[in-house]
């Protein structure tokens, strides 16, 4: 169903656009972020419009909310926000998210200061930047955003952990 996957799509679009831009040498700036936001908004509006036009039982909860007016859309957003706050305050997922992000930052800091050369290739740096935006988007746009963001953050941590291991020569035994 479109409604169940809308948050994931809304998180994936800016992440992919960021990766494509970063791969071409783009550094984050206000103009670039505005373009990413605009692309995401246009994509999301297209999904909402397509869902609203389906009508009837095939329409998702988001399509019904958009079709019935701004009040219902605000109500859905308030429910999603309340669920996210409940999960952040009382879920193990919030701990995983925090540990993954702190661990990623520590590995990146340590790898860039202690190992010769760059820790990440240009492609890996673009992927890491896109993953950071994907984590933020997953947290913001999903029903249970902390769960989606924590799941994504583990991949970021793994990228840094594997690069540090490989750069330290410990990866020679991993094949």
Give the pLDDT score at 71: 59
Side-chain-side CA neighbours of residue 145 (13 Å): 23
Q: Which two tokens stand for residue 88?
A: 């952040």
Burial class of residue 27 in the structure, from the number of CB atoms within 10 Å of its CB (0-12 exposed, 13-18 middle, 19+ buried):
exposed
Entry pTM? 0.81
pLDDT along the chain (175 residues), means of 10: 71 92 89 90 84 70 63 73 82 93 94 84 93 92 87 95 85 58
Give the pLDDT score at 166: 86
Phi then psi for residue 168, to 5 deg, are: -85, 0
Give the pLDDT score at 28: 84
Q: What does 100-147 look like in DSSP terms, one character per residue?
A: HHHHHHHHHHHHHHHSSS-SS-HHHHHHHHHHHHHHHHHHHHSTTHHH
Give the pLDDT score at 65: 65
Asked whether the beta carbons of 120 and 163 are under 8 A apart, the reply is yes
């Amino acid at each position: 169903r479109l409604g169940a996957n809308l948050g994931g799509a809304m998180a994936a679009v800016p992440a992919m656009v960021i990766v494509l831009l970063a791969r071409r040498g783009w550094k984050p700036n206000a103009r670039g972020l505005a373009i990413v936001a605009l692309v995401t908004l246009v994509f999301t509006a297209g999904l909402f419009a397509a869902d609203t036009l389906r009508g009837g039982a095939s329409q998702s909860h988001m399509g019904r909310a958009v079709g019935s007016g701004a009040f219902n859309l605000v109500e859905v957003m308030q429910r999603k926000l309340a669920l996210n706050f409940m999960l952040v305050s009382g879920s193990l997922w919030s701990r995983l998210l925090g540990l993954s992000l702190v661990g990623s930052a520590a590995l990146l800091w340590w790898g860039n200061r202690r190992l010769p050369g760059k820790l990440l290739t240009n492609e890996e740096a673009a992927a890491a930047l896109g993953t950071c935006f994907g984590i933020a988007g997953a947290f913001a746009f999903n029903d249970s955003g902390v769960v989606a963001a924590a799941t994504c953050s583990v991949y970021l941590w793994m990228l840094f952990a594997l690069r540090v291991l490989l750069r330290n020569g410990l990866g020679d035994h991993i094949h």
